[in-house]
Structure 1
């Protein structure tokens, strides 16, 4: 996917959650997440669109830097071109880092984002149990 395509899908997805999955085409964890997302796409299609973005694309690096995508896979949510956040008990509320363990986990997160967006919430709480939320440590450059 090219930058112009990502720009267009963010701009043109109206009244639905846009799920942008940033990852590598060959990474096993990304492939697991791709599988979960593809199985869920039909079920969430009434309130969400899913798009896969290969972070190896040179054109996409502007998004990689802007969203500080240092861990792969990372999933970012939008609603009507606005970046949506989620408090999942991790240090970063701007994106979901890692894969979803089950299809239902993704469906629940996407639906939570949609319901929060419909109530004009800027950030929603993740309802998944802590054991199903990927854990990672943030690394800061030059600190």
Structure 2
């Protein structure tokens, strides 16, 4: 239901345009499916937080089942959903979550404030010229997952 409140992107051109056109704000792209229960939980948090972060962030949802989006799914190695990727002025922003993968947030946020804190930390770091920032959340509120390596 809350995914109706946020922009849903299904074409590569739409993703390219929003990455290119979002200036001086953190762009939050949630890769997932509208039918997945964890994605719905995350979408609820994102939609409730979108107004609070609107001064320094924008949120959009990317449908990973769209054929045109598969370029991004492969590029960001989206194997777990939902996965959330952050950009600032068309640069991919990374965050050290204490996991092996700094390129994306995997899973849902526990609380609305957790999401706001992460976006704010990325914004503050990006304004200082950093491309990777430390996660402001305590380790117990960061989802844990096991990385799977294909063809290794």
TM-score when scaled to structure 2?
Answer: 0.93
What is the distance in 1 between the residues matched to 2:70 and 2:121?
28
Shift, 1:83, TM fit: 0.1
Residue 89 (structure 2) aligns with: 80
Secondary structure of 2:41's partner?
Answer: helix
Residue 56 of structure 1, CA deviation: 0.4
- Out of 49, 54, 59, the residue aligned to residue 68 of structure 2 is 59
Deviation >3 Å, runs of 4+: none
Q: Which one of the candidate residues 53, 58, 69 is aligned to 1:49?
A: 58
Aligned to 1:100: 109
Please name the residue that 1:132 is paired with: 141
- Determine the C-alpha separation between the residues in 2 that align with 1:110 and 1:95: 12
- Counterpart among 112, 122, 126 of residue 121 in structure 2: 112
Any idea what the Cα deviations from partners look like across 1:32-73, whole Å, max 9, x if unmatched? 000000000000000000000010000000000000000100
Partner of 1:10: 19
Q: 1:63-122, CA deviations, whole angstroms, 9 ceiling, x for partnerless residues?
A: 000000001000000000000000010110000011000000000000000000000011
Structure 2 gap ranges (5+): 1-8
Matched residue, 2:3: none
How many residues align? The count is 143
Counterpart secondary structure, 1:11: helix
Other structure's SS at 1:59 match: helix
